[in-house]
Amino acid sequence: MDVLLTGSAGFIGSHIAAALAAAGHRVRGLDTRPDGLDGGPADVLDAAEVARRLEGADAVCHQAAVVGLGVDVSDLPRYAAVNVQGTAVLLAEMARAGVGALVLASSMVVYGEGAYTCARHGAVRPGPRPEEALRAGRFEPDCPRCGEPLRPGAVGEEAAADPRNVYADTKLAQEHLAASWARMTGGSVAALRYHNVYGPRMPRDTPYAGVAALFRSRLLAGLPPLVFEDGAQRRDFVHVRDVARANVLALERLAAPGGPVGRGGSRAYNIASGEPRGIGDLAAALAEAFGGPAPRVTGGYRLGDVRHIVARPGRARRELGFEASVVFADGMAEFARRPVTSS
CA pair distance 228, 279, nearest whole angstrom: 8
* Residue 268 and residue 175 in contact, taking contact as beta carbons nearer than 8 Å: yes
By C-alpha distance, which of 85, 96, 52 is closest to 29?
Answer: 52
CA pair distance 201, 12, nearest whole angstrom: 8
CA pair distance 278, 232, nearest whole angstrom: 5
* Residue 5 and residue 61 in contact, taking contact as beta carbons nearer than 8 Å: yes
Determine the distance from the C-alpha atom of residue 298 to the mean position of all C-alpha atoms in its chain, rounded to a whole number.
Answer: 26
Averages of pLDDT over runs of 10 residues in the chain (343 residues) are 97 97 98 91 97 98 85 86 98 98 96 94 93 96 94 95 91 98 98 94 64 89 96 96 98 92 96 95 93 94 89 97 95 79 53
Residue 74 makes CB contacts below 8 A (sequence gap 6+) with: none
Per-residue confidence (pLDDT) for residue 269, from 0 to 100 = 98
CA pair distance 282, 265, nearest whole angstrom: 37
Per-residue confidence (pLDDT) for residue 71, from 0 to 100 = 59
What amino acid occupies position 258? Answer: G
CA pair distance 146, 269, nearest whole angstrom: 32
CA pair distance 56, 128, nearest whole angstrom: 47
